[in-house]
Structures are given as C-alpha cells and as structure tokens.
Amino acid sequence: MKILVAGWFSFEQMGASAGDLIARDLACSWLDEAGVAYDIATAAPFTGGVDCNAVDPRDYDYALFVCGPFGNGPPLLEFLDRFAGRLIGLNLSMLQPLEEWNPFEFLIERDSSRAANPDMVFGGPPLPRPANSPSGGVPVVGLVLIDHQPEYDTDDHHRAVDDALRRVIAAREMAVVPIDTRLDENRTGLRTAGEVEALIARMDVVLTTRLHGTVLALKNGVPVLAVDSVAGGAKVKRQTEAVGWPTVFSADRMSDDELLSAFDYCLTAPARTAAVACRNRAAAGVARIRDQFMAWLDHRGAFAGRGDVESRRKVRT
C-alpha cells in the first residue's frame, strides 16, 4: 500500500500552521510504524515533498488529508475529484454535517456533526519547561490571534474578539508576546513548528482565538484564555469541550468582566494543574485515535510483509 499524505501544507497560501505540520508528522510516524509507504504533498514555501497536482493518483491506494477545517469547496474540489473513493481523514474540523456530505472511506474527525476528539497535536510529548518557570512577578503572556475565516461567512467576528482581548491586556499588568502559528508566512519571525511550540511553552498564560494556540498551550501545561471568534462557537470551542478546559468563550457569549475573571484564574496554580490534567486526557484520546487508525490499516492489509505487493495495491473501495 502507498498513501499520499496531504493537508493545508499541500496548497499555497492556505494558512498552514505549526499544528498542521505537527499533526502531519505524527500521522507519518504512525504510517512508518505500520510499514506503509507514503509521499507527502507540499507546496511553497514548504519543501521536500511532491506536488499534489502533478502526481498520478493511480500511484496511490489512498490519499490521507491531515488536520484543519475541511469542506466541499475550493481549493479542495480537484483534490476530492482525483482521489474520490480513496480518501482518509484525520484531525479534521468538518464544515458540513456528515449526514449531508462525507467523502471519506475512513474518518476520525477533530470535530463534526457526530463527534469531537482531541487534536492530534496532543499526541506528542510536551517540551521541557525551564526550572525557573513560571516567571513570577509580571506574567509573560502569549497573544495568538487568527485572521478572518471566510469559511464561517458572517459568523466570523475576529475583530470584535481581538478588541476584547486587547482590553484584557490593557486592564492588567503583563508582558505580551505576539505569536503567529501560521508558517507559510509568519508575522513574528518564526520559521518552524518547533519554534512556535517552544515559544508558546515558555508563556505563563496564552490569550488566543486560534485552535492550535489553545492546543499547543495546554499540551505544554500552559493555562489558556481561549475565545472562539465564530458566533456560537466552532472548532476552538469544540476542542476545549473535548479535552475539558473551562476558560473558553465564543464571540457572542463573552463580556469584559468574564474575560478578566478567566485571565485571573489562568494565573493560578490550580489553573496550571488543570492544564496538565487536560493534556493527559487529550494524550490518552490521541492514543485511542492512533489505535483506531492502525486497526483500520491492519484491516486493509497495510502492514508490511502481509500478502504480496500486487494484492495490497488492489485494495480499493
């Protein structure tokens, strides 16, 4: 069996983030463990892979799309058409109800109309925290904001949420560190997923509207004040609910007093203990996702050495 591993890192200017690359690398480690051959589809500025649009779909048994929001629209239409009937999805936020549209033979979603699971980024080990952290005194606070999300149309209220978080910053003494998790173009000079995670892991608290700002903070035991910039809540809110983190709000359900109270809580020792507990719950959830994925590969005859190559390559749906 051979698989094409794709994601938002496979398309230019689609906002691929540190979390996308971490989830991709974890999925590839599972494929390595299973003995499954794969290529990674990359687009500029990422290198070292194949061109998603230039490969011959007949060279692959499946295409695995890893991480991020996923819907039936551009730039995915050609990709969906080329690999129709041979799609695997991991760690996706499905933008349409699965009852209406589900192109995957096998899907373990991050969140959808049927379920929510821990983000796969929780599956890696946390980074070592320096002995002198947390900082003490004036807190060092990471600010991780998302831009406009056109997939949510008029429900996106990121500007109002950004303003609310900046009012929190103005109301408390703190040293603020802007952190951009996007890696196809990064506004804060970060170049790799490791650099993004290392910076987030050094914070005392993170204020964020980004899903992977939330996940990378909690993965490293850093309390996070998360606000979903989508009215009613979308992937950020679903993720915090999936891992049991309490300080989360949505764009249409927040007040300055609530945000300030949540920020003050994030500075406490109980909040740091709760963040570590969330990380442990989420890591256990990702371990279950791995087991389900490996069992599916096993069922499809994917482990190296089982059957001849031709019989494995004939596995189709």
Pick the closest to residue 109 from 123, 99, 94, 97 (CA basis).
Answer: 94
Give yes or no for residue 305 having a pLDDT over 50: no
Examine the domain organization and report whether 96 and 38 are in the same domain. Answer: yes
Give yes or no for residue 100 having a pLDDT over 80: yes
Task: Report the C-alpha gap between 118 and 109 in whole angstroms.
Answer: 9
Q: What is the CATH number of the domain that holds 162?
A: 3.40.50.2000
Task: Report the C-alpha gap between 252 and 245 in whole angstroms.
Answer: 19
Give yes or no for residue 315 having a pLDDT over 50: no
Examine the domain organization and report whether 28 and 65 are in the same domain. Answer: yes
Task: Determine how many CB atoms are found less than 10 A away from the CB of residue 4.
Answer: 26
Q: What is the CATH number of the domain that holds 40?
A: 3.40.50
Examine the domain organization and report whether 159 and 275 are in the same domain. Answer: yes
Q: How many domains does the chain have?
A: 2
Enumerate residues 6+ apart whose C-beta is below 8 A from 247. 223, 224, 225, 226, 262, 265, 266, 271
Examine the domain organization and report whether 33 and 67 are in the same domain. Answer: yes
Examine the domain organization and report whether 292 and 243 are in the same domain. Answer: no
Give residue 37's pLDDT band: very low, low, confident or very high (50, 70, 90).
very high
Taking only the tens place, the pLDDT of each residue in 130-151 is 655 555 689 999 999 987 776 7
Examine the domain organization and report whether 306 and 195 are in the same domain. Answer: no
Residue 133 lies in a domain: no
Residues pairing with 89 in the sheet: 65, 107
Give the domain range for residue 293: 2-123+283-313
Order of strands across the sheet that contains 140-144: 175-178, 140-144, 205-208, 224-228, 248-250
Under a CB-based contact definition with an 8 Å cutoff, are residues 105 and 86 in contact? yes
What is the pLDDT, as a whole number, of residue 130?
A: 62
Examine the domain organization and report whether 148 and 252 are in the same domain. Answer: yes
Cis peptide bond prior to 45, omega within 30° of 0: yes
Residue 128 lies in a domain: no
Residue 234 lies in a domain: yes
Give yes or no for residue 264 having a pLDDT over 60: yes
pTM of the model: 0.89
Task: Determine how many CB atoms are found less than 10 A away from the CB of residue 293.
Answer: 20
